[in-house]
A = this chain, B = another copy of it.
Amino acid sequence: MTPEYALDPAFITGSVALARLPLCDVRLQRDVRYPWLILIPRVSGARELEDLAASDRGRLMDEVLLAGRVVRAIGDVLGRPVAKLNVAALGNITPQLHVHVVGRRPDDAAWPGPVWGFGGAIDYDPGQAETARTAALRTLEVG
C-alpha cells in the first residue's frame, strides 16, 4: 500500500498555500524580497525528479512554466518586474521533492548569487500579500 501524500511541515512555516494544480501544490514563499513559488508534486515518497513517472515529469515541466508566469505577474504588480527566472530542485534541507521558481532582478538582495540561505526572509505586509495573491490567482486561472 502506498502511503498517502502529505506535505512536509517544513513548508508550512515559510510559505502559504496558493493553488492546487493537477500535479503540484503551489505555495507562495513568505519573502517579499523575491516573487517565489514552491511547487510540491503530490506524489508520496518522491525525493528526486527520477521518482516521478514520465507523465508526471511532463506535467511538472508544464507547471514550472506556469509558475514562471505567476512569478512574473507578482513582480509586475509589486512594481519589480522579473529579469531572470531561477528554477531549482534542491531538497538538501527538506528532502520531499519540490521545485523553487524565483523571479530575480539585478537589484535584488542576493543577485547574482542564489537566494537559498541568503539573509533572512522579509514577510509580505498584508496589502502586498493581497496584491500578490490576486495577481497570482488571476494568472493561474488564465493558465
Contacts and interface: CB of A to CB of B under 8 A. Distances in A.
B88 A95 contact: no
Interface in A107-125: 111-114, 116-117
A92 interface: yes
Contact of A49 (B68, B92, B104): B68
Contacts of A111: 92
A114 B117 contact: yes
Contact of A84 (B61, B68, B92, B113): B92
A113 B116 contact: yes
A89 B89 contact: no
A88 B88 contact: yes
A90 B104 CA distance: 9
Interface of A: 47-50, 57-58, 60-61, 64-65, 68, 84-93, 95, 104, 111-114, 116-117
